[in-house]
């Protein structure tokens, strides 16, 4: 029932609110736009999204925020945080996380979560009356999914990666390392934790296939890693 144009507007508003929560700088500087990085991300997103009538179109950006995290918003917006790119040790790990967030987009989990939490009336008011989605708790709802939602996104991610010829063990490797960090006492504050504990995420991904490529060329990976680097 929600028109695509409205969903896109809601996505813009929720991205703004979410980035404030994650501590990204205000204004133009909140997104990293290093040379080649944006092209690499869009190419990876297009590869995972496939071709033809069933292709999935997403807009992927890197935000200059410290947590090793990512989130999807209504309207096909996906944001990877700088900390995630810094923490990743191989392109397949980023590809796995991106595929997982694309799984949420395909299943429309962000929009469903907002509707459950805020209701259609509140979303319409936010669009046309300038009220805050953050005040309605909508952003937190969008960033927090049920176990069933996460499992569905994982399953979609594995399918997208396999169809694109990208190795599917990157997501499991990333979660394994996050689980080690959490076991040593490191974790995000509850407000910023958008996923279940990493050990549970690793278990949910299950067995993965190392066959396939890394998803990005060495040059594209280097550009992605340098996207948020401070000049000089």
pLDDT tens profile 8-21: 888 888 888 888 88
Which residue has 């989605």 as its token pair?
133
**Which one has a higher pLDDT value, 204 or 66?**
66
209, part of any domain: yes
Domain that holds residue 201: 4-225
36, part of any domain: yes
154, part of any domain: yes
101-127 tens-digit pLDDT: 999 999 999 888 887 776 656 665 655
111, part of any domain: yes
* Residue 196 CA from chain centroid, whole number: 14
Min mean pLDDT across 2-6, 29-33, 78-82, 137-141 is at: 137-141
pLDDT of residue 139: 64
Q: Is the pLDDT of residue 197 over 60?
A: no
Mean pLDDT score across all residues of the chain:
79
Q: Is the pLDDT of residue 191 over 70?
A: no
Surface-to-core class of residue 132, CB atoms within 10 Å of its CB (0-12 exposed, 13-18 middle, 19+ buried):
middle
20, part of any domain: yes
231, part of any domain: no
119, part of any domain: yes
135, part of any domain: yes
Task: Give the whole-angstrom CA distance, residue 31 versus residue 25.
Answer: 9
Percent of the chain residues topping a pLDDT of 70: 74
The total of structural domains in the chain comes to: 1
């Amino acid at each position: 029932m929600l028109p695509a144009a409205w969903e896109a507007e809601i996505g813009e508003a929720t991205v703004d609110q979410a980035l404030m929560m994650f501590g990204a700088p205000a204004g133009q500087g909140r997104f990293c736009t290093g040379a080649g990085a944006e092209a690499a991300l869009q190419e990876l997103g297009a590869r995972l999204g496939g071709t033809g009538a069933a292709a999935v179109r997403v807009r992927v950006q890197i935000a200059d925020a410290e947590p090793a995290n990512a989130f999807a918003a209504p309207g096909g917006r996906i944001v990877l945080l700088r900390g995630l790119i810094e923490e990743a040790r191989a392109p397949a790990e980023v590809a796995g996380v991106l595929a997982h967030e694309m799984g949420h987009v395909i299943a429309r989990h962000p929009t469903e979560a907002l509707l459950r939490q805020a209701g259609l009336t509140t979303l319409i008011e936010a669009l046309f009356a300038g009220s805050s989605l953050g005040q309605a708790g909508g952003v937190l709802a969008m960033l927090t999914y049920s176990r069933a939602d996460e499992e569905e996104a994982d399953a979609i991610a594995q399918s997208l990666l396999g169809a694109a010829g990208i190795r599917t063990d990157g997501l499991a490797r990333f979660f394994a390392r996050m689980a080690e960090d959490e076991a040593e006492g490191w974790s995000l504050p509850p407000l910023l934790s958008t996923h279940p504990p990493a050990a549970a995420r690793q278990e949910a991904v299950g067995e993965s296939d190392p066959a396939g490529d890394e998803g990005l060329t060495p040059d594209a990976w280097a550009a992605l890693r340098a996207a948020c680097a401070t000049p000089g």
